[in-house]
Amino acid sequence: MKRSALALALLIAASLFAADKKPTYTKQEQPIYDAIRTLRSLDDKERGKETATLALKIRQLAPSENKVRLATGLASLSTEGDFGHETLQQVATTLADALHDQPQPADHGQPAYPYVALAQLQRYEKVDVTLQDPQYSAAMDQLKTLDEHRQQADLTLTDLSGNSWTLKSLKGKVVLLNFWATWCPPCNRELPDMQALYEKYKDQGLVVLAVTDEDPAKVQPFISKRKLTYPVLLDPGRKVNDAFGIEGIPKSFVYDREGNLVSQAIDMRTRAQFTTMLNAAGLK
């Protein structure tokens, strides 16, 4: 089942957020845990400040499993919007510090999720990470391999109007490929910005393709109500979702006019962040 990026992060970091697995926190750790749980209730400006503050507080904790849990939970929430590069750097430094002091066991031969979360921050958010650990190296290698696969992956899907779209046939266009769902709050926050950017750049060759695995009877009225005019593609069997390695949404990819994958987002983006992604494909 596809989940929002937030829901997936919370599931993977279950030891932090799930009540039935909730660890016992010290009097220093408990306020941090509580603050992480309420981050989404803050406006973006305050959320950025609070995220950076929490990163520093976690870094000051003694090495422990709880420190890793808290650092991982914070990292999983830090990419849902634009809270500033320095904030993300603080989050990444804290997680790297926690893993350095308390290495995690592999997960059935695969890198434990905290290493994956850290690798995503470095690869996609361009933060600096210094961590000498085989699992971290493996996580970085896995992301590189996944991106190479996404570069080669194609799709042929039908939109709500019955038109067929094939990604590889769109060379000469800049393509923003977005995976989303009507029930996903972060996805919904992106929609007006994607529509505005589509209207701004479509005459310069921008194509927005929004892929959902939901039933068209649910999607069509949702799209009509919000007056979205870019193509919404239907992926009922999730073959395209699976081909692009989509587990949490929203996820966005930008391909330039030569069909090169030039930027991607691991979580929801603001209009300014989307604009930066499109700039990388040559749209100004």
Label residue 100 by pLDDT band (50, 70, 90): very high
Query: Structure pTM?
Result: 0.86
What is residue 17's predicted lDDT score, i.e. its pLDDT?
A: 46
163 has pLDDT over 60? yes
Check residue 227 and give left, alpha or beta (phi > 0: left; psi -120 to 50: alpha): left
pLDDT digits (tens, 9 = 90+) for 14-62: 444 444 456 899 999 999 999 999 998 999 999 999 999 999 999 999 9
Torsion sign, CA atoms 215, 237, 269, 97: positive
Look at residue 21 in the predicted model and tell me its pLDDT: 59
- Percent pLDDT > 70 in the chain is 92
- pLDDT for 248 equals 87
- Treating both helix axes as pointing N-terminal to C-terminal, what angle do 271-279 and 185-201 enclose, rounded to 10 degrees? 50
Report how far Cα 181 is from the mean position of its chain's Cα atoms.
14
Task: Looking at the structure, give the CATH architecture of the domain made up of residues 156-279.
Answer: 3-Layer(aba) Sandwich (3.40)
Q: Tell me what pLDDT residue 12 has.
A: 47
HEC secondary structure over the chain: CCEEHHHHHHHHCHHHHCHHHCCCCCCCCHHHHHHHHCHHHCCHHHHHHHHHHHHHHHHCCCCCHHHHHHHHHHHHHCCCCCCCHHHHHHHHHHHHHHHHHCCCCCECCECCHHHHHHHHHHHHHCCCCCCCCHHHHHHHHHHHHHHHHHHHCCCEEEECCCCEEEHHHHCCCEEEEEECCCCCHHHHHHHHHHHHHHHHHHHHCEEEEEEECCCHHHHHHHHHHCCCCCCEEECCCCHHHHHCCCCEECEEEEECCCCCEEEEECCCCCHHHHHHHHHCCCCC
pLDDT of residue 23: 83
Model pLDDT for residues 142-159, shown as the tens digit of each residue: 999 999 999 999 999 999
How confident is the model over 256-262, as a mean pLDDT?
Answer: 96
Evaluate whether 234 touches 43 at the Cβ level (below 8 Å). Answer: no
CA distance 139 to 192: 34
Determine contact, residues 80/6, Cβ cutoff 8 Å. Answer: yes
Residue 231 has pLDDT above 80, yes or no: yes
Q: Could you tell me how far CA 217 lies from the centroid of its own chain?
A: 27
What confidence tens digit (pLDDT) does each residue in 244-256 have?
999 889 999 999 9
Confidence of residue 235 (pLDDT cuts 50, 70, 90): very high
Give the start-to-end residue ranges of the domains of the chain.
Answer: 3-148, 156-279
Q: Cis peptide leading into 250, omega within 30 of 0?
A: yes
Average pLDDT taken over every residue of the chain: 92
Which two tokens mark 81?
Answer: 């919007």
Q: Encode pLDDT of 202-228 as tens digits.
A: 999 999 999 999 999 999 999 999 999
Share of the chain above pLDDT 90, in %: 88
The predicted structure's pLDDT at residue 218: 97
pLDDT-derived band at 72 (thresholds 50, 70, 90) equals: very high
